[in-house]
Each structure stands twice: as structure tokens, then as C-alpha cells.
Structure 1
Amino acid sequence: MSRKKSTKALLEVFGFDPLDHTSIARQFWKLSACPFTKKSCTKYDHTRSICYGTCSVTNSIENVIICPNRLYEQDYLAIQRVSEDAFGGKEFFLFDQYIKHTIDGTLPSECVVALGHNSGKEVKITNMSMDWVLAYIKDGVLLNYVGIEVQSIDITGNYRDAWYAAKSKSNDIPAAQHGLNWANVHKRLIPQIIRKSLIYSKSNLVKNGLYFVVPDAVYKRFENIIGADIPQTQSVNKETITVHTYDLGPPQPFGRPRKLIPCRSLRFTLAEFSERFIAGPNLPSSSVLDNKIKNILACS
């Protein structure tokens, strides 16, 4: 079984290799379900009529995670890692676990409660939704909390023919026709990180700033804009941005999803991050725009 040789291909659909025809992989296809959130998949086409379930794709040089839910494997381990970094070994609960322990009277005196995707309610303020908030509670009192932004990248174009071939269990999947919307990094993702970091920095209870969980391939595009040499800091405060990047591990035997591998942990100040975005090291020189307009108008 093989994909046609191409620089573009589907890598995971409903959590499994598109060529994986095992019963467990096909069960997720039938259910349109996500093995990482253990919920219904949310990856639909623009008409909301077809659940594509595509977790990751390849381009000419790398694997790229295109669904943020892919980052939630092993019971939201990436979110638990943030809790460990921000609050140490405090017991971690999703919201339903927190409620259960509260009702049972077994809630520890100190714990961290996750509010966000499939865990209680997302925190929304001024038309902005915070992906995750981890709340540190001691003896029933909220003492501290930290925000987490989780991002992947959107596609352009489509991979319809490749997807239908995989759905029909074809052993010969054609090349995909997708692109990756890297323009969103500077149009939407970086401004969103800055805005949300500013909101958390104004809180009287936030002491660890904002965490950013992102595929390593996507964060590399951040570095194309803000630079890879942005100074890091060892201190942590409400104006800190901490980045945790992830990539997919090697292929697994059919019937098992790939593992998510931690790649990098970076920490810097909101001020430095914002300044790098505004005055970015990769901005064009002063003459580039002048010459571009002159060339269009054929002026000297």
C-alpha cells in the first residue's frame, strides 16, 4: 500500500494513517471521532456537511499538525505539562474531575483545575475566548491562574480526492492539493498572542503570564518574523510568554496513532516579543517598497 509520490499528502485522518485499514482505525472513521479528545471530531468542510477528521499533513519538507485537538493526546498531557511548569506537582484536574472530587468530598486542599476545551467552560471576555485557564486553588480560594493558547495552522486549497481515496480504503492515494495558510502567522496568530498576553499581564492573580502550545513547524514560521535569536529569560512573571512546541513522532504499526513529542521550551518577555513583531528583524529594507511600486508603474 502506498501514497503517490508527492510533496503533499495526508498524514493522519481521525488520528490514524490514511492507509491504516485496521478495525480500530476504521471505527474512528465511522464515528467521525477524535481519539485524542475522545469526542466527536470538529474538523468539517466549509459547508459543515463533511467531517474530514484530518489531523496532520505533509508538505515538501515537514509534517504539519493542522488541528489543535491533535495536541491533546494522552488526556491533555500538553496541558498537564504547563501545569507542572507553572505550579509544580499540584494535583491536576479537568473540570468534571474537579466536580466529582468536590461532590465526593475527596478534593485535595491544593489543586489545579483546567477550564477550556471540553473542560467546563471556555473563559470569554470582550469577544475574545481564552483557550485554556489553569486555576490554582488552595482551601477553596483561587490564588493564581495561568493562560494557555493552543494553535495549529489552517490549510488553503483542498485534499478532497486524497481524502475520498482514503475513505474508500484505496491502496493508492493520490497527491493532495492543499496549501498551508502561513500568512495567518503574522495576520492573526502573533497579534492574538500579544493581545491575550496583555490581558493576562493586567491581572492581580496571574503570576506566570501566558503559555503557548504549538507545533514546532508552526513556531518556526513565528521565528521567520520575530527572529530565532529573541533573548530568553529565566525569570517568570505576569509579563512572561512561555512556548512549548511539539512534533509528531515516527510512524507506528497500523492500529496505533503516532506519539506527540515535546520539542522546545522557550521563555521570553512580552515586551521583547511585541517589539520583535513590530520592528521584526526580517522586515524589508526601506527601498524595497519604493522599487516595487516604481516597477509596477514603470517609473524611474
Structure 2
Amino acid sequence: MSKVVELFGHAATSKVVDWQQVVAEQQCPFLKKRCYKVRKSDPGVSIGSCTVLYGAAPPEAVLICPTRLIDRGQIFTDCLHLLTNHEPGNELHVVSEVSVPGGSVDYFLVSARDGVVKDFVGIELQTLDTTGTVWPERQRLLRELGLPRADEAENSTKPFGMNWKMTAKTILVQMHHKVQTFEHINKKLVLIVQDKLLAYMSREFRFDHLKNPAMLGDSMHLHAYSFRPNGELGELRLAMSARVSTDADGIAASLGLQAEARIELAQLLASLQAKISVKTLFRPV
């Protein structure tokens, strides 16, 4: 049995999905466009694997695609309280990929009035990186669904794994670097993860000083979500499971690192205002 739980955003057990159409169109239902994860050997083919089963019996659903986290816009709704300068009448926008020192932030939830940014929250997404390849499992699912395949990868015996340590350390180092920027301009940065990744980080890094429940005044927030079946159709849905918070010093204490990152508020506001438009308006499903 294939370990792929979701393909192109649809539960592998769904009986109402036209799988032949879904696989042919290669559309990500969350981005409303073609899945950007393509095969290196064949860029014309999107992989489409969002979630897999992993772990000792019974294995659990583990997210491997960060875009899966934006389903229904729930993670953005759950950050609304961090827009402390938001007022009724302001428009909400979701802006993607804005550069800051140390890289770029996946999303910004922006409060604006008359095209002028009044407040914002940075939102970073992180799911588990895999070791090896999930492609054979993906092809096994196609075989189970009775769909044609362009190769015989489903016969491969090579397993895949989860790169827990590298995923956790890399994102914490990045967040430590970026949160100093947000702290400098008195804004908030949120890391969105699955509850399983937060549990791992809590075991492997020093997390005992993080505030639980989260405190509004902290610059760094971590929102963790469980991922479980919802309803009779077997579809999986995200649900908030934990909120913790700290600041730049708190992340440094977890990692034992020191770094500096500064950006002027005016520069970031200009970048956001240049990107907001009718297309970025937040429309929760």
C-alpha cells in the first residue's frame, strides 16, 4: 500500500475525486495553479505529494509540502490578533515572498487602508524535508488508483525518510536571523509548523523558556497544527494545537547562536505597499 496520503491536495482515499483529471492537470488547489514541485529529471511532471505516512506502527500523516498549510486561509486568520494596529474598515491582504535580511519571508498578513500599509505580520511556513525520494510511493498510489505511469518506479525498494534534525535546526537558525529584523521595528514574526515538528524541536532544543500559552508582546510566535481526518470523506484538515512565543534572545538561547539583522521600517513598508493589490486581498474560504 502506498504511503502517500494526499496527492495534489486530495485525500488518497477519496471516492469522489476524478483522479485521472487531477493527475493530468497537476493543479495545486491551494495556490490555484500548477504544483511547483517538479521532477528534476522531467520538469514537465509535477510530483504533487503533499502528505505521507511515516513512523512506527501505526504510522502517522506527516506534511512534506509547506503550501499544504495555507488551506482555507486558517493560518492567516489565526494571526489576526497579532495585527495590533488593525482597525475596522481596513483591508486585509496576503502578500507572498517579501525580502528581508537573511532571505525572504513566505507571507505577510497586511492591514491596509486606502492602499497604505497600517500594520503587518510576517508568516513563515515549515514542513518536514525528506531524505531519499517519495516518487516510488507516489507511483504506487497511481497504480492503486488504476492510473497509467510513465515509469516503473513503483517497483523500487528504496525507502524515504524524514530529515528531522536538519529541518528543525535550519528553520530555527533562519528564524533567529529574521526575527531580529521584526523585533527592531516592533512587529511580529510567526512560524507555522505541524505539531509533530514542534514536538521534535521541543525535545531536541532548549524550549523550556518559551511562553505557553503565547504572549502577545513577544516578537516570535510559533503556531503548531494537528492534521487529522475530518468528516466522512476522509479528508484531512488542519487544527490549531499549540501557540508558544519568545523573542530573538529566546531563539538564540535555544540554538546558542548570535547573529544580527536590521532593516528600516520604511523600506519594508515600501516593499509591502508595492505588492498589495486586488489580487492579494485576503478571501478566507
Q: Same fold (TM over 0.5)?
A: yes
What do residues 211-246 of structure 1 show as CA deviations (whole Å, max 9, x unaligned)?
111111122222123235233176434x52111111
Shift of 1:24: 3.5
CA distance in 2, matches of 1:169, 1:59: 19
Evaluate the alpha carbon distance shift between residue 45 and residue 229 of structure 1 in structure 2; reply closer, same or farther with a 3 A threshold: same
- Which residue among 120, 129, 140 is the counterpart of 1:145? 120
- Residue in 1 aligned with 2:192? 213
| Match 1:258 to one of 225, 229, 236 | 236
Distance change >3 Å, CA 176–CA 12, structure 1 → 2 = farther
List per-residue Cα deviations over 1:257-286 (Å, max 9, x = no partner): 32222211112222122112218xxxxxxx
Query: CA–CA distance in 1 between the matches of 2:81 and 2:21?
Result: 34
Distance 1:90 1:78 in 2: 20
- Contact 2:4 2:141 (C-alpha < 8 Å) held by counterparts: no
Distance 1:231 1:159 in 2: 34
Do residues 30 (structure 1) and 1 (structure 2) align?
no
Counterpart of 2:69 in structure 1 is 71
From 102, 106, 124, the equivalent of 1:131 is 106
Q: Is the 8 A contact 1:250 1:259 kept in 2?
A: yes
1:115 and 2:95 correspond:
yes
After TM superposition, give the deviation of residue 40 of structure 1 in Å: 1.2
Amino acid at match of 1:65: L
Query: Structure 2 vs 1, CA of residues 38 and 257 (structure 1 numbering), >3 Å: closer, same or farther?
Result: farther
| Residue in 1 that maps onto 2:226 | 247
- Residue number in structure 2 paired with 1:179: 161
- 1:267 — aligned with what? 245
CA contact (8 A) 1:65 1:152 kept: yes
Question: Structure 1: any 5+ residue segments left out of the alignment?
Answer: 92-107, 117-121, 280-300
Deviations 1:115-156 (A, max 9, x none): 11xxxxx21245611111222224554332221111112111
CA separation of 1:127 and 1:267: change in aligned 2, threshold 3 A: closer
Spell out, residue by residue over 1:6-58, the C-alpha distance to the aligned partner (whole angstroms, 9 max, x if none). Answer: xxx22111122335464434432221111223221122233334311000111
> Does the aligned pair in 2 maintain the 1:212–1:243 contact within 8 Å?
yes
TM-score between both structures, scaled by the size of structure 1: 0.71
**Percent of residue pairs bearing the same amino acid type:** 21
Q: What SS does the corresponding residue of 1:265 show, helix, strand or coil? A: strand
Contact kept? 1:63, 1:217, Cα under 8 Å: no
Number of corresponding residues: 244
Instruction: Tell me which residue corresponds to 1:40.
Output: 34
Q: 2:55 pairs with 55, 60, 75, which one?
A: 60
Q: Deviations for 1:146-184, whole angstroms, at most 9, x for unmatched residues?
A: 21111112111123332212223457x888721111132
Tell me, what secondary structure is at the counterpart of 1:153? coil
Distance 1:235 1:20 in 2: 40
Higher CA-based Rg: 1
Q: Is the 8 A contact 2:94 2:107 kept in 1?
A: yes
RMSD: 2.9
Task: Tell me, yes or no, if structure 1 residue 202 matches structure 2 residue 184.
Answer: yes
- Check conservation: 1:83, 1:112, Cα contact below 8 A: no
CA, structure 1 residues 248+26, in 2 after alignment: closer, same or farther (shift >3 Å)? farther
Determine the C-alpha separation between the residues in 2 that align with 1:11 and 1:169.
Answer: 13
